[in-house]
Amino acid sequence: MNASDNIQRLLQQKIDQYKGAITPEILNRFTGEVMKEINQRSLPFAEGLSPEQLHGLLHFLFTERSIVRLNASIPDDIALTSPLLNLCICYLQIIQREKAIKLTKTEALPMKIVNELYSKEYISEKIWTLPIKVRTEQDSISIQLVKMISKLAGMTKMLHGKLSLTAMGTTLLKSPSKLLVLFTETFFLRFAWSYFDIFESQQAAQFGAGYTLVLLRKYGHHEKEVNFYANKFLEAFPMVADEFESRFSRSPEEVFSDCYITRTFNRGLMWLGMVETRETGNRMEGTHQEWVKTTSLFHDFVKIS
């Protein structure tokens, strides 16, 4: 039975049970009641969430209409367990110290600033340049990410080729917890996760990221193989595989899983300090696996009602 038939069946049940005259007002009331009932029913393929809850996660993440919110009262010392937050703080502090930083002709950070940021050891990704040394901001995704998030969030501004702090950026330097909230909201809602990869889908993993947070809240206490979460995501949103094509004998579902794991864990939640990852096996031998579990920061920071 499709959705339309189900609505018609429930509506007919209400009409059959009603003893009075069916006026347009009564019919409209019944239709509203049926739609409300359907939207609040739990969906077994989506961890028991209702269509209404899924809609909130997809379109109103972190707001009052979403079951997932960020804890703005998280203690600063816990917030500071986030590698990206620490890198962002260092970045803002350097700008504050310099008053203004003159960017290159391509609007990139000067090499000395990049080297100083890299020396703080808050960068989580592997650097593949040879020799293994960061020379420009293009050599580090983390540094580029912090620079872009800070601009998108309104913490920095650029005028006549010079980068400086805004009043908001100066204020947030005094409150790591509030800075983490703004950084995370901007990362999830305004920064394009597809920026650093070549997967064909622009929205995959990011659209529906709130659902991933629900999954991690439910299952993340214990280490699980990363494909567990990719498969759970596909159960709830099977249509996302349609955005991918087969590649190197891998199915669209498998390519989606690669995209999902890369964007969600390897270049997202791990850098934010919300998950820990571990690798086992050997890629060449086909035995490679990645494992993930949530951190204390995740459970203190991400709240689900």
Type of residue found at 53: Q
Mean pLDDT over 17-29 rounds to: 77
- Rounded Cα gap, residues 244 and 259, in angstroms: 10
Peptide bond into 75 cis (omega under 30): no
Spatial distance between the Cα atoms of 252 and 245, rounded to a whole number of angstroms:
5
Instruction: Count the alpha carbons within 13 Å of 269 in the hemisphere toward its beta carbon.
Output: 29
For residue 24, the model assigns a pLDDT of 81
Q: What is the pLDDT of residue 130?
A: 40
**DSSP conformational letter for 66:** S
**Non-local CB neighbours of 248 within 8 Å, separated by 6+ positions:** none
Q: What's the whole-number mean pLDDT along residues 88-102? A: 97
pLDDT for 133: 67
pLDDT at 35: 67
The edge-to-edge listing of strands for the beta sheet with 101-102 is 101-102, 162-165, 156-159
- List the one residue out of 98, 94, 85 whose CA is nearest residue 175: 85
User: For residue 69, is pLDDT > 90?
Assistant: yes
Q: What is the pLDDT of residues 133-164, one digit of tens each?
A: 677 898 889 999 999 999 999 999 999 999 99
39 pLDDT higher than 60: yes
In the chain, where the domains are located: 1-39, 76-189, 193-304
Instruction: Domain 193-304: state its class.
Output: mainly alpha
Pick the CATH number of 76-189 from 1.10.1740, 1.10.3210, 1.10.10, 3.40.50: 1.10.10
- pLDDT, one tens digit per residue, over 102-114 is 999 999 999 999 9
User: What is the reported pTM?
Assistant: 0.86
Return contacts of 273-277, CB within 8 angstroms, 24+ apart. 273/81, 273/82, 273/83, 273/84, 273/85, 273/297, 274/82, 274/216, 274/298, 274/301, 274/302, 275/216, 275/220, 277/226
**One-letter amino acid for residue 65 of the chain:** R
pLDDT in tens, 240-291: 999 999 887 889 999 999 999 999 999 899 999 999 999 998 888 878 899 9
CATH fold match for the domains 76-189 and 193-304: yes
Per the document, the length of the chain is: 305
Per-residue pLDDT at 115 exceeds 70: yes
Is a pLDDT exceeding 70 seen at residue 221? yes
